[in-house]
């Protein structure tokens, strides 16, 4: 990937040079300040984006990951008419 380095007294001047040399689609690789000057390293070639070789499987649905154990526990709790854990955090009265 060919790179150029331009220097300017400020970033506006350096970017004007980049745009004049590489065009408006130039990619900035680095910007540094050295000796009271701005140095911008840029290129007009872009690295290709990696492409997916195979589609990833979607995450499993809850019923495929043991959700039946939770459903059984909930059913047993409701059947026994016992309090569900952490009910102390729920309001006991509704304000009217």
Is the Cβ–Cβ distance between 14 and 47 less than 8 Å? no
Q: Which of 39, 45, 47, 49 is nearest to 2 (CA)?
A: 45
What is the pLDDT, as a whole number, of residue 10?
94
pTM above 0.75, yes or no: no
| CA distance linking residue 34 with residue 42, whole number of Å | 16
What is the pLDDT, as a whole number, of residue 73?
73
What is the pLDDT, as a whole number, of residue 84?
55
Q: Output DSSP code: residue 12.
A: H
Report the Cα 63 to chain-centroid distance in Å. Answer: 28
Mean per-residue pLDDT of the chain: 77
pLDDT at 92 over 90: no
Is the Cβ–Cβ distance between 28 and 21 less than 8 Å? no
- Above pLDDT 70, what percent of the chain? 60
pLDDT in tens, 44-81: 887 666 666 666 776 666 555 556 677 777 777 777 76
The domains of the chain are located at: 4-43
What is the pLDDT, as a whole number, of residue 40?
95
């Amino acid at each position: 990937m060919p790179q150029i380095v331009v220097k300017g007294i400020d970033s506006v001047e350096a970017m004007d040079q980049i745009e004049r040399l590489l065009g408006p689609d130039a990619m900035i690789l680095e910007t540094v300040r050295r000796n009271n000057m701005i140095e911008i390293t840029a290129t007009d070639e872009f690295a290709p984006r990696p492409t997916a070789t195979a589609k990833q499987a979607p995450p499993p649905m809850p019923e495929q990951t043991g959700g039946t154990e939770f459903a059984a526990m909930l059913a047993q709790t409701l059947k026994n008419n016992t309090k569900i854990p952490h009910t102390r955090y729920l309001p006991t009265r509704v304000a009217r």
